[in-house]
Amino acid sequence: MFFLRITVFVVLASLSLQVRAQADHSWIVAKLQGTAFIAAKGVKAIKVRRGMALHPGQTLSTRARTRLLLTRGKESIQVGSGAIMALPPAKYSRPGKTLILHQSGRLDLTVNKRDVKHFSVRTPYLIAVVKGTTFKVDVHEGRTEVSVSSGTVEVSDSSTGATTDITRGQSASVVRSASGASQMQVQAPGKKVKVRKIKGKIAKPNFYATVKVKGKILALKPGTGKKTISVSEAKALTISKRKLSWLERKAAAKAAAIAADPDATDAEVEAAQAEQAQASAESSSPGNSDGAGNSENSSASSSASSNSSSSSSSSSSSSSSSSSSPGNSNGAGNSENSNASSNATKN
């Protein structure tokens, strides 16, 4: 048996309205058939029951022959078997924006329609951004596919910047070869779909997964639930050092000055913090067109049981505190880890 943890990286200023953000970004388990787990930082993973909530900073994973429905108002996410997904921690969430981190398996999503792009799904290979639609994201090793039932989805290859908009009945896939070469493939029967290259969409994946095998921490290959690589290899695939932009430095200096001013009001301090967060979001997220938050330093973990029988234990988001919880202490050096863990079995 081994344990899995997804580690996500986010560089964003901490916002003060974390309680509100958690409420805005939480999802409810409306239906469940099979076995799934939710985990959070510092606690063991718990078995999912109908009516439970998935909060920011937690990871959800499903075992084989499992289907689970998450709802948030009229929006929904149908989670398939062997799937692993996570929500970034509340302090990295922005009002009105939703970001789903999708490591493996299939998600079927129904998103409320708005006038702006407000909902994004990040996978190891691509980013899907929508204003409102019904679409599916299927993640496997070396390939991720997005298909649309209604509305429009912008799909971007995070390796090449290739970007296209697909609509009802169309799909777009990003295929990654063993050598690392990436190619976007679009299926649009009877229609010609334009694929454009946007440099701003090029960015390393913002998360990776780790597993604990016989006491040793390894990383999970992108898009998989079992195959492993070294943690250093995973970090090389995901973490890119970035200097603060002039806008970020200016906003940070302003926020620090206001915070140090004894006459500053709470409203002024909060406004400066929000301005700093906005500057960071706009500057640090290449390929994040909706500004939902480029992850470069958060982390979510999940525990997965392999085919071996499992005395299935729990896992916890971020570093868990027991040997049966994935993610325990590995990655703990990353102070912004959201590390949510959960149990999952790959098909």
pLDDT the model gives residue 280 = 67
Give the contacts of 215 (CB within 8 A, at least 6 positions apart): 323
DSSP 55-96: -TT-EEEE-TT-EEEEEETTEEEEE-TT-EEE---GGG--TT
Residue 257 phi/psi, 5-degree rounding, is -65, -45
Window from 8-12, 246-250, 290-294 with minimum mean pLDDT: 290-294
Q: Which of the pair, 331 or 216, is modelled with greater confidence?
A: 216
SS3 of residue 246 by DSSP: helix
Whole-model pTM: value is: 0.68
pLDDT the model gives residue 212 = 67
- The full set of domain ranges for the chain reads 27-197, 244-282
pLDDT the model gives residue 105 = 95
Give the contacts of 260 (CB within 8 A, at least 6 positions apart): none
pLDDT tier at 160, thresholds 50, 70, 90: very high
d(CA 319, CA 338): 8
d(CA 345, CA 82): 5
How much is the average pLDDT of 47-59?
A: 94
Q: Which of the pair, 245 or 326, is modelled with greater confidence?
A: 245
pLDDT tier at 309, thresholds 50, 70, 90: very low
How far is residue 256 from each of residues 170, 251, 284, measured CA to CA in Å? 48, 9, 20
pLDDT the model gives residue 283 = 57
d(CA 118, CA 173): 22
CB 223 within 8 A of CB 140: yes
The CATH classification number of 27-197 equals 2.60.120.1440
d(CA 171, CA 188): 7
CA–CA–CA angle 4, 173, 125 (5° rounding): 40
Residue-wise pLDDT for 86-116, tens only, equals 998 887 777 888 999 998 999 999 999 988 8
